[in-house]
Structure 1
Amino acid sequence: MSISLLEKYLPDQCLPHLKKWFGGYPIHIKITRGRNSKLGDYRKMPDKSHQITINSTLQPQLFFFVLTHELAHLLAFENFGHRISPHGAEWKHTFRTMLLESISVYAEDLKPIIFKFLKSPKANFMSSPDLVRYFHIEDYEDETSYIEDLDVKDRFIYRKQIYIIEEKRKKNYLCTQLDTDKKYIFKPLARVEKIS
């Protein structure tokens, strides 16, 4: 996929950054349906080309942010060698540099959140509560809540199953699925529907 074909997924003013980062690397970008497990993925292919997959359902600024994350893998491996840790110091340095270079692409109210994120870039988007909150404001109907906004013993629906919150454990929540009596750990920013 050429950079220009990506335009409909991207915010304005980001193509110059992408052209610089893409350089002469053979990159195949696949736009996928929304995946719950991940927003994007990077892989070096056997023929030495690079493959990046990104969910088509992402808002333009988040799409660009995820694309930057995945391109940082490519550039970190190319610049520091393939023995580095995928989300180690070299990747963090590369991702941080790329975000700073492209900060003008992001909305004014998002820039402070990205600057905060830059202090220690996380491998998993869901580990950055401020970014998760920012990008999920409009994604859910009013009846959904973050699990961290509920109380112990509250009941909620998650993926058509009913759960009850048993206890808070450090950052996460221990919950029981009522039909099976099985215990599950939920992250604080899991989106659930509270049962009144």
Structure 2
Amino acid sequence: MSISLLEKYLPENTLPYLKVWFGDHSIHIKITKGRNSKLGDYRKMPDKSHQITINSTLQPPLFFFVLTHELAHLLAFENFGGRISPHGAEWKNTFKIMLLESIAIYPDDLKPIILKFSRSPKANFMASPDLVRYFHIENYEDESSYIEDLDLGEKFVYRKQTYIIEEKRKKNYLCLNLDTAKKYLFKPLARVEKLS
């Protein structure tokens, strides 16, 4: 996919950054249907080309953020060698530099969140409560809640199964699946449907 075909998914004025980051690399971008498990991923292919997949359902600023995350993998591996940790210091520093270079792309109310995130980039988008809240506020107008907003003993539905919150363990919540009697840990920003 050519860079220009990405334009409909991206905020304005992103192409100059992407042209620099793409450089002469052979990169295949695949736009996928929305996936619950991940927003995007990066792979180095056997023929030495690179493949990046990104969910098509992302808002333009988040699409650009995820694309930047995945390109940071490519650039970190190219600059530091294939033996580095995927989300180690080299990747974090590369991602941080890319975020700061392109900060002008983001809406004014998102810039402080990106700046804060760039101090110590996380491997998982869900590990940044500020980013998750920002994009969920924009994305969701349904009846869903964050699990951290519910009280112990409250029931909720997650992926068509009913749970009850039993206890808080450090940051996560231990919940009993009332359909299977199995217990699961949920992250505080898991989106659930509260039962009244």
What range describes the TM-score normalised by the shorter chain of this pair?
over 0.9
Name the residue aligned to 1:35: 35
Q: Deviations over 1:68-113 (max 9, x none)?
A: 0000000000001111100000000100000000000000000000
Name the residue aligned to 1:133: 133
Q: Secondary structure of 2:122's partner?
A: coil
Distance apart, 1:180 and its partner CA: 1.3
Name the residue aligned to 2:107: 107
Aligned AA (2:152): V
Distance apart, 1:158 and its partner CA: 0.7
Name the residue aligned to 1:186: 186
Note the residue ranges of structure 2 that are not aligned, 5 or more in a row. none
Q: Which moved more, 1:64-73 or 1:136-145?
A: 136-145
| CA distance in structure 1 between the aligned counterparts of 2:83 and 2:68, rounded to whole angstroms | 21
The percentage of counterpart residues that share the same residue type is 82
Aligned AA (2:111): K
| CA distance in structure 1 between the aligned counterparts of 2:133 and 2:77, rounded to whole angstroms | 31
Distance apart, 1:143 and its partner CA: 1.3
Q: Runs of at least 4 residues of structure 1 off by over 6 A? A: none
Distance apart, 1:147 and its partner CA: 0.2
Aligned AA (2:26): P
Q: Deviations over 1:46-76 (max 9, x none)?
A: 0000000000000000000000000000000
Q: Given the two structures, how large is their TM-score scaled by the length of structure 1? A: 0.99
Aligned AA (2:75): L
Name the residue aligned to 1:17: 17
Q: Deviations over 1:138-188 (max 9, x none)?
A: 322341100000000000011111100000000000000111111011000
Q: Given the two structures, how large is their TM-score scaled by the length of structure 2? A: 0.99
2:162 is equivalent to residue 162 of structure 1 = yes
Structure 1 residues 25-174: aligned runs within 5 Å: 25-174=25-174
Q: Secondary structure of 1:138's partner?
A: helix
| CA distance in structure 1 between the aligned counterparts of 2:84 and 2:18, rounded to whole angstroms | 23
| CA distance in structure 2 between the aligned counterparts of 1:143 and 1:88, rounded to whole angstroms | 37
Aligned AA (2:161): Q
Q: Secondary structure of 2:138's partner?
A: coil
Q: Secondary structure of 1:98's partner?
A: helix
Name the count of aligned residue pairs. 196
Aligned AA (2:69): H
| CA distance in structure 2 between the aligned counterparts of 1:84 and 1:140, rounded to whole angstroms | 37
